[in-house]
Amino acid sequence: MTPERTNYLELADWRRRVATLYAEVRSRAAADPAAALVHWRAVRAQLYRTHPRSPVPIHGRENFPVQHFPHDPALRFEAPVIMEGVEPEPNGGHGVEGGRPVPSRGGRAVLIPTSTGADMVFQRIGWVDIPFPTGQRRLALYWLEGYADGLYLPFGDATNGVDTYGAGRYLLDGAKSADLGGDVARGTLIIDFNFAYHPSCAFDPRWACPLIPPENRLDLPIRAGERMA
């Protein structure tokens, strides 16, 4: 088998395993979020250390120290999605904030820079209000434009550059099957910061990762999820 074919099949297997893991998490969390978190941590640690498409460089995989903050049940929420208002866009409905025109689906099209300097096109489709113990904060919810599509919810917080990756972490990335579920009828999403994880570029700069938009940078520390120190 050629190296190119092997790489494609390895990547497909990685995505398949991640999709299976999140399906298991959604099923288990319905009855026991803490048990679902234990399972998520164990499987992700195994993937980081053993899978050929791990974002961790090969020389550091075998003993890679997967670290997490302690589980905090108070940082799990079922949040209503406040949809972005549908309003006329410039260029006949093909506007982008600060960049080139792209088709709009009713949200607001934005360009989000990546760690390698290129831009990716997302639709800001709405917002989620998170009732933190220290007060409510609002995060923007995005939809990835492209063949795969999918919800995208990144965030930055006061632990970045100290305990966590300086450029922030992700909660949801539907294009890669990172999805904690929700209720379609009630228009809600599960937002559980205990499942916050680092983008691939946190482990190796060769990966291109969308950066955290300013509107999703929180002014408080989120001591939950993956950590690096």
- For residue 76, the SS3 value is strand
Under a CB-based contact definition with an 8 Å cutoff, are residues 222 and 157 in contact?
A: yes
Q: Distance between CA atoms of 43 and 82, rounded to whole angstroms? A: 33
Q: Give pTM, 2 decimals.
A: 0.88
Cβ(113)–Cβ(121) under 8 Å?
no
The token pair at 48 is: 């980081």
pLDDT category, 147, cuts 50, 70, 90?
low
pLDDT of residue 3: 58
The first and second tokens of residue 142, run together, are: 């995005």
Is residue 90 a part of any domain in this protein? yes
Residue pointed to by tokens 């006949």: 92
pLDDT tens column, 43-86? 999 999 999 999 999 999 999 999 999 999 999 999 999 998 74
Q: Please give the sequence-ordered ranges of beta strands (E in DSSP) within the chain, or none if there are none.
A: 67-68, 76-83, 108-113, 119-132, 135-144, 151-155, 169-173, 182-183, 188-192, 226-227
Domain around 100? 69-227
> Is residue 90 pLDDT above 90, yes or no?
no
**Within a domain: residue 161?**
yes
Domain count of the fold of the chain: 1
The larger pLDDT score, comparing residue 114 to residue 107, is at 114
Q: What is the mean pLDDT of the chain?
A: 89
Question: Is 34's pLDDT higher than 50?
Answer: yes
pLDDT of residue 6: 66
Question: Does residue 59 lie within any of the structural domains?
Answer: no
208 or 94, which is more confident: 208
| Beta strands 151-155 and 169-173, pairing class | antiparallel
Residue 129 lies in a domain: yes
Lowest mean pLDDT among 46-55, 85-94, 159-168: 85-94
221 vs 116: which has the higher pLDDT: 221
Has residue 46 been placed in a domain? no
Query: Is residue 23 in a domain?
Result: no
Look up tokens 């933190």; give the residue.
Answer: 132
Question: 98 pLDDT exceeds 50?
Answer: no
Structural contact between residues 171 and 153, judged by C-beta atoms closer than 8 angstroms: yes
When pLDDT is cut at 50, 70 and 90, the band that residue 4 belongs to is low
| Domain-embedded: residue 58 | no
Binned at pLDDT 50, 70 and 90, residue 198 comes out as very high
Would 50 be classed as within a structural domain?
Answer: no
**How far is residue 151's CA from residue 125's CA, in Å, rounded to a whole number?**
9
